[in-house]
Amino acid sequence: MLSNDYEFEEESILPNINVEKSYGVKFIIVGDSSVGKSSILVRFTSSKFDEKHSPTLSMEFGSKHIIYNNSDYLVQIWDTAGQEQYKSITRSYYKESAVAMMVYDIREEESFEHIKVWLEDCKNLTPSSTLLVLIGNKNDLEEERKITKEMGENFANENNMIFFETSALNGSGVDNAFQKCIENIDRRIKEGFYDLNEISRSGIKIMKNNGVDSVSDNIVDKKALAEGAKKKKSINCCIFN
């Protein structure tokens, strides 16, 4: 069960944690432009909200460790641009994704309608084992809501997705969404759901020596690794049981 008092720790704690396994897990975040995808990424990886954040051009990358059930999960997140002109580029990042998060703005009916298109892309371009997640963002703006929580829940249930509502502005629900995804990944690993051998395309790789630099290139490219290494200097470890 998720602990109510999970804590965030500095990177220095990682070498001192006794974990049985270490995994790299690839997440992608998709959805229309301006629904808050990048803000969700920044909120999760840095516990901040950037009011001046510019629209994503092509891709952005972030990473964070989650320690759960005696395992170290390095959550590696690709935030995709929502603009139509970038789709041919961003679609190449769908492959080998363990989790696909599809985000809409609870105030924008069009962004919710377009989830059908994003879902179709995810089903066509990600592995069949990919965990599909629906996120209704900006629930701090309740007075402007047009998409009810029940509408989001119903769509998720109809399409075998996990549903969350979040606010990147105040952080509500953001950590919980990523944590619940890792809970599901951990359970699936324990049940033997994934093939984690060298040619696995599940978006999950066994890491060696608890090090970011040992993650397979099948999940991350060198530029992303370099960026992730920089981000490791910030608060980037979440521990829960």
In a domain, 152, yes or no: yes
Backbone angles phi, psi at 91, to 5 degrees: -60, -25
The total number of structural domains that make up the chain = 1
Q: Closest Cα to residue 201, out of 116, 129, 105, 110?
A: 129
Task: Examine the pLDDT at 233 and tell me if it is beyond 90.
Answer: no
Binning pLDDT at 50, 70 and 90, where does residue 80 land?
A: confident
Record the tokens describing residue 32, joined without a space.
Answer: 């229309």
Write the DSSP string, 34-97. TSSHHHHHHHHHHS---TTPPPP-SEEEEEEEEEETTEEEEEEEEEEP-SGGGHHHHGGGSTT-
In a domain, 12, yes or no: yes
In a domain, 39, yes or no: yes
Tell me what pLDDT residue 199 has: 58
Tell me what pLDDT residue 175 has: 96
Residue 185: give the domain boundaries: 7-240
In a domain, 170, yes or no: yes
In a domain, 1, yes or no: no
Output 200 or 222, whichever has higher pLDDT: 200
In a domain, 219, yes or no: yes
CATH number of the domain that residue 96 is part of = 3.40.50.300
Average pLDDT in the 120-133 region? 94
pLDDT in tens, 184-215: 999 999 999 998 875 568 999 998 754 443 33
In a domain, 90, yes or no: yes
In a domain, 231, yes or no: yes
Average pLDDT in the 168-193 region? 96
What's the mean per-residue pLDDT of the chain? 79
